[in-house]
Homo-oligomer: A and B are copies of this chain.
Amino acid sequence: MIKTEKIERIEKPLGGIPEPTLRRLPKYIELLTRLKATNMKFVSSNYVAEKLNLDPIQVRKDLAISGTIGKPKLGFDLDDLLAALNHTLNWDNLHDAFLIGVGSLGSALLGYKNFSSYGLNIVAGFDSDQRKVGKVVNGIKVLPVSKLENMIKRMKINIAILTVPSEDAQEIAEEMVEAGILAIWNFAPTHLKLPKDVIVENAQLTQSLGVLTHKLAEKTKKEKMIIHNN
């Protein structure tokens, strides 16, 4: 048994996929899922590259990570490739998750039906506001945040979606880590200081919006200047 494990280790180095590659995989999955719905059976990396406006060499390298091998002239078996990519992102398993902070963004996320395609199953919401506790928001029950630690332990929950106000984020995150949470999807626009082995992924909604509004200001300024100088 130990031997097999070791061989597997050599074939697929742990944590070996660079993050920029990882971040492109959902785009491939999204495209392939749509192609599958049109009954396409095979797909080439060139075709994928063209559809997504990406460099064909990069796409070939990215898809190779899935371990699927394309057939000459036909390309990849679409079903196999899709399954392998979903497996790489761990989206072929459904993970139970808690959502903490049932405000406007939190409620919204509770109602987002597509998370299950991405391996995420939100089983409960938590809030400190007694008026929210006991309610069912978008089909999911809201529990008091005082029960959070206990419930994480009892239900062996690994993933938390954090949508509390920034000033509460650090404290709640620490509590959850102590109770056994392994990964936090952080929507609070604040930095979490946690032990290195805890996985923290920042949703970066405000960062994304900041880039957009800044670029828009620059663009408008530039255009005004052109009109001005003519």
Chain A interface (Cβ < 8 Å from any Cβ of B): 1-2, 5, 9, 14-15, 17, 19, 22-27, 30-31, 34, 51-54, 88-91, 93, 95, 104-105, 107-109, 111-115, 118-120, 138, 158-159, 166-167, 182-183, 185, 189-191, 193, 197, 199, 201-222, 225, 228-229
A111 vs B110: C-alpha distance in the bound complex, in angstroms?
Answer: 13
Decide: A208 and B218 in contact? CB cutoff 8 A: no
Report which residue of A197, A199, A203, A209 has the largest number of chain B beta carbons within 10 angstroms of its beta carbon.
A209
A213 vs B105: C-alpha distance in the bound complex, in angstroms?
Answer: 21
Copies of this chain held together in the complex = 2
Report which residue of A2, A111, A114, A208 has the largest number of chain B beta carbons within 10 angstroms of its beta carbon.
A208
Please provide the 7 A-B residue pairs with the shortest distance between their CB atoms, ordered closest to farther.
Answer: A108-B108, A90-B217, A201-B212, A90-B213, A26-B206, A23-B207, A89-B210
Decide: B225 and A53 in contact? CB cutoff 8 A: no
Decide: B9 and A216 in contact? CB cutoff 8 A: no
Decide: B183 and A215 in contact? CB cutoff 8 A: yes
Interface CB pairs A-B, < 8 A, 8: A14-B218, A30-B190, A34-B167, A89-B214, A90-B214, A120-B209, A120-B213, A201-B211
Decide: B166 and A34 in contact? CB cutoff 8 A: yes
Q: Which residue of B lies closest to A216 (CB)?
A: B183
Q: Which residues on B sit within 8 Å (CB–CB) of A120? A: 209, 213
Decide: B229 and A88 in contact? CB cutoff 8 A: no
Q: Which residues on B sit within 8 Å (CB–CB) of A89? A: 210, 213-214
